[in-house]
Structure 1
């Protein structure tokens, strides 16, 4: 298995050249390696330098009107349910286990609405 690779699905929220935000579905390559010996090899992505990791709690009914992300970040929903709308009008719902690479750090950004109490882990990137 070591050295083999596969791809995983990744959701990304980004700005186009005019500043409008969009969702896009992408794939990321992960390669089998000895990540935590003596455990067997697992598939691992390239590393991404991070500034800090924080937990967020959004109570049910929380609404954040359109805003840009404060920095590039990877957001993973641990519990709850939320929806986010980008400036091109697309809305997506997120459930526990969903992860998104958020890169809309300028322009109108996105809005967020907690449909249930949400706990998130946010890795803020350099």
Structure 2
């Protein structure tokens, strides 16, 4: 990592060619950019076209059984705690600040359970 680049961890949920869903942890390179002058440079990823961004409120105890994502989206948990399971049997717990790229738009999908009241920002990708 240099002064011009940095790396950030990204969690991705995807479906393989057989429709099984999985989590994978990846590393995304970001580059120093004069993003908001006159403020100092920030590290920025490549842009991804987005269709819209929405807020979700998910009450504690809500459970969505296995379903594919309606479209590619980036989901960021703002408050609360939730669990997400994929069809390969893996479950993860997400806490505020966790962001996930959700790409399982076909196949068995994922299941989601709100352990507490949750607020999410969802950027639906174009």
In structure 1, C-alpha distance between the alignment counterparts of 2:122 and 2:89, rounded to whole Å:
24
Gaps of 5+ in 2: none
**What secondary structure, in the 3-state scheme, does the structure 2 residue paired with 1:9 have?**
strand
Matches for 1:71-86 after TM superposition, within 5 Å: 71-86=71-86
In structure 1, C-alpha distance between the alignment counterparts of 2:106 and 2:34, rounded to whole Å:
38
- Equivalent residue, structure 2, for 1:114: 114
Shift, 1:6, TM fit: 1.1
- Equivalent residue, structure 2, for 1:28: 28
Per-residue Cα deviation, 1:18-37 (whole angstroms, up to 9, x for no partner): 11000000000000010000
TM-score, normalised by the number of residues in structure 1 = 0.97
The question of 1:98 aligning with 2:98 is answered yes
The question of 1:6 aligning with 2:11 is answered no
Dislocated runs of 4+, deviation >3 Å: none
Per-residue Cα deviation, 1:14-71 (whole angstroms, up to 9, x for no partner): 0111110000000000000100000000100000000000000100000000000000
Gaps of 5+ in 1: none
Supply the RMSD in Å over aligned alpha carbons: 1.1
**What secondary structure, in the 3-state scheme, does the structure 1 residue paired with 2:88 have?**
coil
TM-score, normalised by the number of residues in structure 2 = 0.97
**What secondary structure, in the 3-state scheme, does the structure 2 residue paired with 1:48 have?**
coil
In structure 1, C-alpha distance between the alignment counterparts of 2:63 and 2:19, rounded to whole Å:
22
In structure 1, C-alpha distance between the alignment counterparts of 2:76 and 2:6, rounded to whole Å:
21
Q: How many residues align?
A: 125
